[in-house]
Amino acid sequence: MRRRGSASIAANPVLIGAATTLVVLVAVFLAYNANAGLPFVPTYELRSEVPDAANLVVGNDVRIGGTRVGVVSAIDPKAHKDGSVTAVLTMKLETTIRPLPQDSTVLVRPRSALGLKYVELSKGSSPKGFQDGATIPLRQATPQAVELDQVLNTFDARTRKAQQDNLTEFGNGLAGRGQDLNRAIEALNPLLRDLQPVMRNLSDPNTGLRRFVTALGHSAEIVGPAAETQAALFRNLDTTFSALAKVARPYLQDSITGGPPALDTATRSFPIQRPFLRNTELLFNDLRPGVRALATAAPTLADALQIGTPTLRRSVALNHRLKPAFSALQRFAEDPLVALGVNDLTNTSQVLAPTVAQLTPTQTVCNYVTLWFRNVSSLLSEGDSNGTTQRFVIIATPQGPNNEGGPSSAPANGPNKDNYLHSNPYPNTAGPGQTNECEAANEPYLVGKQVIGNVPGNQGTLHDKTVIQKGT
């Protein structure tokens, strides 16, 4: 007969259920906190500032050399005075890595293409380490992480189109050239053999190849802004070479074939030509002042040559007709009375010199003499439906004191806006001592203002020009 107190626990359903429930609760608790570490296990806690914690969540791994050494227990934003925001990671690490060297670096890296992340610690070599609860500064979050979407974004539509064009062009360039490639590979054998000493020289530190490559990189940075200009250069070269391809055979081919004989001839002839070229250089140096003077006279000379060419053709017949005139001129020059007349003309020209000097700009600058004769000739031939220009029309004079309709005690000076005298008996004609302007017929009418003499300001030298018809 068994005693009542000695009954087994397995025989009690209540105790079995309670034990099972406790085991399940402990298992769930451990599973829930598995990412945060096992309970009652000591940890080494550090914080780290990183530029960006995108797609990084609490519970992600912290690894050193690919081995899991802890988890991320918290992620907090940190705002800076300049308005930027970074992230502060709280990491629970195993005590076996304590203390982490102070020159260690932190990098947030992708774990898979699905966006999972983990924190990678790269241990440094500093003898000093971070204490428990210390913060790794932001400057040690290097190198800057490159996201997968940044890599994929480099292959934009333009890049993909350029790659397609490159594959098409390279494929067209290599198509049907198998034998040429085989011969090229065969020819590379001696090239590669001879290339070995060259590469040994280049790899020698004394060549300074490292500095050369660095300087070349800087040069590329400098010419980078001119990339579009260089691209335009290659496009233009393509246009040029496409045009040359049409004349490559036989013209360019003959030119290349004839090039070596031409170079041989030039080698023999250039030493002989050198003194001639030197003398020609000296001649052109002496002609340089005259050429500079011709720069302004070239249009006039061109017109003179164009007009004078047909005239010279007719000058032969004119010379025959002028022969009697020149004979008479010779008899006139040999007449003793002519000298007396020439002396009188000389005295007359000397007396008229100041007058001619005064009147010369009137014609050479303002063309007034030619315009006067033209206007006189058209006085009786031009007009309108009422008659020719020379006609008498009654013009009403302005009303007011001292107006032009009767005697006056002073020049008209208002008060009506039309009753102002405008008189210029001696206008500027670019003569000596005058302003370089053609005042007559160019002066503006100043309404409501008395003007006697030249209008203030320079009216310029614009005037009618006499047009010489071609062939006259």
Residues 367 and 471 in one domain: yes
Residue 88 pLDDT: 92
User: Model confidence at 2, in pLDDT bands (50, 70, 90)?
Assistant: very low
Residue 472 pLDDT: 33
Instruction: Give pLDDT tens digits for 397-441.
Output: 788 888 878 888 888 888 888 888 888 888 888 888 888 888 888
447 Cβ partners below 8 Å, 6+ apart? 417
Domains held by the chain: number: 3
140 phi and psi angles, rounded to 5 deg: -95, 10
**Measured distance between the N- and C-terminal CA atoms of the chain, rounded to whole angstroms:** 161
User: Model confidence at 383, in pLDDT bands (50, 70, 90)?
Assistant: low
Residue 15 pLDDT: 66
**10 within some domain:** no
Q: Are 358 and 434 in contact (CB under 8 A)?
A: no
More confident residue, 83 or 294: 83
Residue 467 pLDDT: 40
Average the pLDDT over 72-98 and give the result. Answer: 89
Residues 159 and 52 in one domain: no
- Is the pLDDT score of 470 beyond 50? no
Residue 197 pLDDT: 85
Residues 181 and 65 in one domain: no
CA–CA separation, 129 vs 226, rounded Å? 49
User: Model confidence at 32, in pLDDT bands (50, 70, 90)?
Assistant: low
With CA atoms as reference, report the closest residue to 449 among 415, 405, 408, 401.
415
Residue 36 pLDDT: 54
**334 within some domain:** no
Of 207, 228, 250, at which residue does a domain stop? 207
More confident residue, 5 or 463: 463
- Is the pLDDT score of 33 beyond 60? no
Residues 359 and 423 in one domain: yes
- Is the pLDDT score of 471 beyond 50? no
Sheet of strand 61-64, all strands in order from the earlier edge strand to the far edge: 105-110, 117-122, 61-64, 67-79, 85-93, 44-50, 135-136
**247 within some domain:** no
Instruction: Sort 102 into a burial class: Cβ within 10 Å, 0-12 / 13-18 / 19+.
Output: middle
Residues 142 and 164 in one domain: no
CA–CA separation, 51 vs 78, rounded Å? 10
CA–CA separation, 365 vs 458, rounded Å? 14
The three-class DSSP label of residue 9 is: helix
Residues 171 and 133 in one domain: no
Instruction: Give pLDDT tens digits for 305-320.
Output: 888 888 888 888 888 8
Of 169, 190, 207, at which residue does a domain stop? 207
- The dihedral sign for the CA sequence 243, 245, 250, 254: positive
**AA letter at 291:** V
Residues 141 and 193 in one domain: no
Average the pLDDT over 273-294 and give the result. Answer: 87
CA–CA separation, 149 vs 96, rounded Å? 36
The proportion of the chain whose per-residue pLDDT surpasses 70, expressed as a percent, equals: 86
Residues 361 and 445 in one domain: yes
User: Model confidence at 39, in pLDDT bands (50, 70, 90)?
Assistant: low
142 Cβ partners below 8 Å, 6+ apart? 105, 107
- Is the pLDDT score of 287 beyond 60? yes
Question: β-strands 135-136, 44-50: how paired?
Answer: parallel
- Six token digits for residue 76: 């907090």
431 Cβ partners below 8 Å, 6+ apart? 358, 359, 361, 362
Range scoring the smallest mean pLDDT among 121-135, 332-346, 368-382, 440-454: 368-382
Residues 65 and 131 in one domain: yes
Residues 58 and 132 in one domain: yes
Residues 139 and 170 in one domain: no
Instruction: Give pLDDT tens digits for 394-405.
Output: 667 788 888 878
Residues 101 and 120 in one domain: yes
Instruction: Sort 108 into a burial class: Cβ within 10 Å, 0-12 / 13-18 / 19+.
Output: buried
Mean pLDDT of the chain: 81
Residue 117, H or E segment: strand 117-122
Residue 30 pLDDT: 58
Whole-prediction pTM value? 0.31
Residue 180 pLDDT: 83
Domain that holds residue 67: 28-146
Average the pLDDT over 325-345 and give the result. Answer: 87
Instruction: Sort 164 into a burial class: Cβ within 10 Å, 0-12 / 13-18 / 19+.
Output: exposed
